[in-house]
A = this chain, B = another copy of it.
Amino acid sequence: MSYEDRLKQLGFKLPPAPKPVATYVPAVRAGELLFLSGVLPMQNGQLAFTGKLGRELTVEQGMEAARIAILNALAIAKQELGTLDRIARVVKVVGHVASAEGFTDQPQVLNGASDLLVEIFGEAGRHARVAIGAAELPRRAAVEIEVILAIA
């Protein structure tokens, strides 16, 4: 089954790829690697989750935010590559989680992203991961995720 079919079967639909509002671009390819710009949990043109984990948001909400952010990353990948099926491997995911003082469950939050990647891509979805607690994120986003992909 193609990755796109798998995504549909899981009940997910890609959002429109986020458009940079400045002079950067959604992704840059260098050799076999595709470096994506940081993605936020955008849904229907708005941030689905704002605020900090450990204060305004629960871990469950953070996981959902991470899931939505990853769908935005995949939307960028599809826009760049034509199809998700050209993704050979999800290489690395760096997740920045907006964290109030004392919140240390960043890994749990990012499982929302990691689990979805493995559900869609199987073994090719297993990535190196870094989970960080950010002081602040753009536009009060709950999470921001950096992705590096390897392209077939």
Chain A positions within 8 Å of B, measured between CB atoms, are 20-28, 30-33, 35-38, 89-94, 96, 99, 101-107, 110-111, 114-115, 117-118, 125-140, 144, 146, 148, 150
With beta carbons under 8 angstroms apart, the residue of B32, B89, B103 that contacts A28 is B89
**Residue pair A115, B23 in contact (C-beta under 8 Å):** yes
Contact A132 B129 (CB under 8 A): no
User: Does the CB pair B144–A130 fall under 8 Å?
Assistant: yes
Asked whether, in the complex, the Cβ of B136 is within 8 Å of the Cβ of A103, the reply is yes
Q: Is the CB of A111 within 8 A of B22?
A: yes
User: Apart from A22-B115, A28-B92, what are 9 other A-B pairs with CB-CB below 8 Å?
Assistant: A23-B111, A23-B115, A24-B128, A25-B128, A30-B148, A38-B130, A102-B136, A105-B138, A131-B138
Q: Which 3 A-B pairs have the closest CB atoms?
A: A133-B136, A38-B130, A24-B129
Instruction: Determine whether the beta carbon of A23 is less than 8 Å from that of B117.
Output: yes
Find out whether the CB atom of B133 lies under 8 angstroms from the CB atom of A133: no
Are B132 and A30 in contact, with the CB atoms below 8 A?
no
Residues in chain B near residue A114, CB distance under 8 A = 22-24
Question: What is the CA–CA distance of A32 and B94 in the complex, to the nearest angstrom?
Answer: 20
